[in-house]
Amino acid sequence: MDIQLSLFVLLLALAFANGTNDVSKGIATLVGSGITNYQTAIVWGTVWTVLGACASGLVASAMVKTFSSGLIAPGTATPPALALAVLTGAMIWVLIATRTGLPVSTTHALTGAIVGGGLAAFTGDELIWSAIAKKIALPLFLSPPLALALSFLFHPALRMAAARWDGACLCWLPASRALVTIDAKGMIRTLFQTTRLGQPVVAVPSQSDLPGPRGITISWDSIHWISSGLASFASGVKDAPKIAAMVLLGSVGAGWPSAQFQVGTFVAVALAMGVGSYLGGLRVTEVLAEKVTTMDHAEGLSANLTTSSLVLVSATMGLPVSSTHVSSSAIIGIGLLKGVATIRWRTVRDMVLAWIVTLPTAAILAWLAYLLLAKAA
């Protein structure tokens, strides 16, 4: 098989594997807090992951540069088998982890695979160890405690807001052309009303006597859905550039052959991530939704806001934090706020062990893959 075709097939395979494991990070709180079922949540997460992956081509160029040329010394002649070995090692480990229901980091897997494949292809001096430590290892190490800290900050404020607005909603009433809030007792408060549309305005009632207001309604559920979509979008923004960068691994300046090639690569990666999310996202979602700690609205929203804010900021800066570490740590942090006894520590132990072994396992798999590919060539 042609080397370029093999590379692209493996690229899509890794994107598929990433989708099976990573879609859970944004949607687990929807199921865990009882808002919706698994199937609906997976469809929701899949759509937003694909949108984020497509958008990443515009906002995450720094991430592409980091993984394509920022870890290998300039001027190094990169063997064609290296990128294939890196993709193979990372893909195999992510699929194994997904099969066993363990949320792992594609960022970790790619990093380990680059190191393992690089050691097999070079003497080791060609790898920029300072860049690996500063740009990858350090952000990955800091992301769990940062996620814990942010969840501790977000949750009390959101818990207070949830208690104050429980049963209330933000609604648009078309007949009155008004934006209002309706509390749990049905009392209506007008926030904004316009009279400039050239038609008579129906007076806003003081109390709602309908089972539900006629118009667009934004409730606490709606906000949770939005936060979940944002977390999935952030995951797509973060992961697609790292996967697409494998096409350019080791190239000088990480330059794309053409704009059309770049767009096509990102779209293909996004679609493969979406297919993986939809077909294989259930197993890991079950673990994060049910087997770490119980969640309600405010807790799920806190976890999603923590995940989306950290991941989006780091992605635009080219710092590859792990959405797995961030989202899992945020959920664990929510459990700690409720009490140590509310956390299923056996699940947490298995997750942490999976995080620890991801780097060396992916490195060994990529090292073996390179030796086999180089021998076959």
For residue 70, pLDDT beyond 70: no
Domain ranges of the chain: 3-163+226-376, 175-214
Confidence (pLDDT) at 29:
82
pLDDT, one tens digit per residue, over 188-225 is 777 777 766 666 667 776 666 554 554 455 667 777 88
pLDDT tier at 258 (50, 70, 90 boundaries)?
confident
Q: What percent of the chain has a predicted confidence (pLDDT) above 90?
A: 20
Confidence of residue 238 (pLDDT cuts 50, 70, 90): confident
Share of the chain above pLDDT 70, in %: 83
Over the chain, what HEC string results? CCHHHHHHHHHHHHHHHHHHHHCHHHHHHHHHCCCCCHHHHHHHHHHHHHHHHHHHHHHCHHHHHHHHCCCECCCCCCCHHHHHHHHHHHHHHHHHHHHCCCCCCHHHHHHHHHHHHHHHHCCCCCECHHHHHHHHHHHHHHHHHHHHHHHHHHHHHHHHHHHHHCCCEEEEECCCCEEEEECCCCEEEEEEECCCCCCCCCCCCCECCCCCCCCEEEEHHHHHHHHHHHHHHHHHHHHHHHHHHHHHCCCHHHCCCCHHHHHHHHHHHHHHHHHHHHHHCHHHHHHHHHCCCCCCHHHHHHHHHHHHHHHHHHHHHCCCCCHHHHHHHHHHHHHHHHCHHHCCHHHHHHHHHHHHHHHHHHHHHHHHHHHHHHHHC
pLDDT at 240 over 60: yes
pLDDT of residue 44: 95
Of 7-11, 303-307, 370-374, which gets the smallest average pLDDT?
Answer: 303-307
The predicted pLDDT at position 253 comes to 47
Q: What pLDDT score does 290 carry?
A: 80
* Over residues 98-122, mean pLDDT: 87
Least confident of 118-132, 227-241, 318-332: 318-332
Can you give the pLDDT at residue 363? Answer: 93
The pLDDT, as a whole number, for residue 252 is 46
The band of 255, judged by pLDDT with boundaries at 50, 70 and 90, is: low
Q: Is the pTM of this model over 0.85?
A: no
Q: pLDDT grade, residue 40 (50/70/90)?
A: very high
Q: State yes or no: pLDDT of 162 exceeds 70.
A: no
Stretch 86-107: mean pLDDT? 90
Q: Which is more confident, 41 or 77? A: 41
pLDDT, residue 17, reads 94
